[in-house]
Structure 1
Amino acid sequence: MAWISGLLFLLLSFYMTGDALSRYLGGPFTGVSDQIAAFCLSLGATWALAQGVIAGTHVRSDVLLPLLPVPVKRWFGVLALAGLTVFAWILAYSSYLLTMESYDMGSTVPQSIIEMQLYIPQSLATLGFVVFAITALVATLVATTQSEPIAEEGGI
């Protein structure tokens, strides 16, 4: 999913460049570049979150961590992953509720030329949040069963 997110951002950059150049040179333009960019940024951001957990690039406040003994560092790492897991599940559940509410109301994408039901892009973003939550949960479970310390520089 992270590769798809990166490819999505790359394709978005080509699309936006082409649309802007065409508009600047007086040629045709799509008129939906704002909506396309919003969809791509939403999907790219949510679908790449799980990669951050796998790579160990999630944010953790560790000002005092270098001063602590190794066993304490390990458990602070597990605690950080557990907090991230709770946060990820809250995001996934809230996104799911929002998607279902949009589906029940029959909402369409607001202020857009694109005629699309709002639950479609929301459900794709929800999928990204669910994968993020599952990845964080698995990383937390793996970290609790490891006997060696959690790596300080990247990785689980």
Structure 2
Amino acid sequence: MRRLLDRLYAAALWLAAITFALIAVLVLAQILGRLTDRVARLLELPPPGLTIPSLAEFGAFLFTGAVFLGLAGTLQAGSHVRVKLLIRSLPEAVARWLGALVCLGAAGLAVFATWSSGLQVADSIAFDSVSYGMIPIPLAIPQGVMTAGLALFTVALVDSAVTLATGGQPGFDAAETRTERGD
């Protein structure tokens, strides 16, 4: 099960990275299109008008997907901000259980966010909601990606809570330990 979860977190991180790269490619294409127009004007030629319609919407939807897909993997990599003043001052067993409770509390919030996001996806499907840009995009697509990212984040939080409660070292602790050692 551990390998499956770690692969799932890694796959979501790769999808997030690919999504960020896609944003960069779209923006670069838009910039090159504008430069082509300017060069054409300088040469007194008609500008070809190369543009990507609804680029702002595509970028926003891709960015949202990247952020939410990256939540679980960045938690496991120890990249989320954590304040450990209290936990470091407690005995190890107490700190472990407090960490597990915090993860479960965060998982409860993530379950609520996932549920709410899922309801929004269902509404978007029921009402055939689309974006308002030049290219109508079914809103259920970016909302579905967001919901999937939240669901995976919930799984990662529960995974960390169970790992702490059973005496293991969750991914974020292992990553922070490697960082402190300079590995």
- Shorter-chain TM-score category? 0.7 to 0.9
Deviations 1:21-47, CA, capped at 9 Å, x for gaps? 322441411122101101110110111
Instruction: Give the structure 1 partner of residue 46 of structure 2.
Output: none
**CA apart distance, 1:85:** 1.0
Secondary structure in structure 2 of the residue aligned to 1:48: helix
Check 1:127–1:70 CA distance in 2 against 1; reply closer, same or farther (3 A cut).
same
Aligned in 2, Cα 1:147/1:123: closer, same or farther, shift over 3 Å? closer
What letter corresponds to residue 27 of structure 2 in structure 1?
M
Residue number in structure 2 paired with 1:14: 25
Gaps of at least 5 residues in structure 1 are none
Q: Structure 2 CA distance, aligned partners of 1:89 and 1:147?
A: 23
2:99/2:161 contact within 8 Å kept? no
Q: Percent identity?
A: 27
CA RMSD of aligned residues (A): 2.3
Equivalent of 1:128, from 127, 144, 149? 149
1:81, 1:136 within 8 Å by CA — same for their partners in 2? Answer: yes
Give the whole-Å Cα distance in 2 for the aligned partners of 1:151 and 1:122: 31
Distance of 1:92 and 1:52 partners within structure 2 = 18
Please give the alpha-carbon distance, in whole angstroms, between the structure 2 residues aligned to 1:3 and 1:147: 26
**What residue number does 1:114 align with?**
135
Residue 59 of structure 2 corresponds to residue 37 of structure 1: yes
TM superposition score normalised by structure 1: 0.86
Structure 1 residues 54-63 or 111-120, which shifts more?
54-63
Sort the Cα spacing of 1:117 and 1:139 in 2 relative to 1 into closer, same or farther, 3 A: same
The Cα shift of 1:101 comes to 1.3
Match of residue 76, structure 1, among 98, 103, 110: 98
Worse-superposed segment, 78-87 or 52-61: 52-61
Contact 1:96 1:123 in 2 (8 A): yes
Contact 1:60-1:80 at 8 Å conserved across structures: no
Structure with the larger helix share: 2
Residue number in structure 2 paired with 1:50: 72
Q: Which amino acid aligns with 1:140?
A: A
Higher relative contact order (CA 8 A, sep 6+): 1
Structure 2 residue runs of 5 or longer lacking an equivalent are: 1-11, 38-48, 179-183
Displacement after TM superposition at 1:154 (Å): 5.8
TM-score by length of 2: 0.74
Answer whether contact 1:106 1:117 (CA < 8 A) is retained.
yes
Partner of 1:90: 112
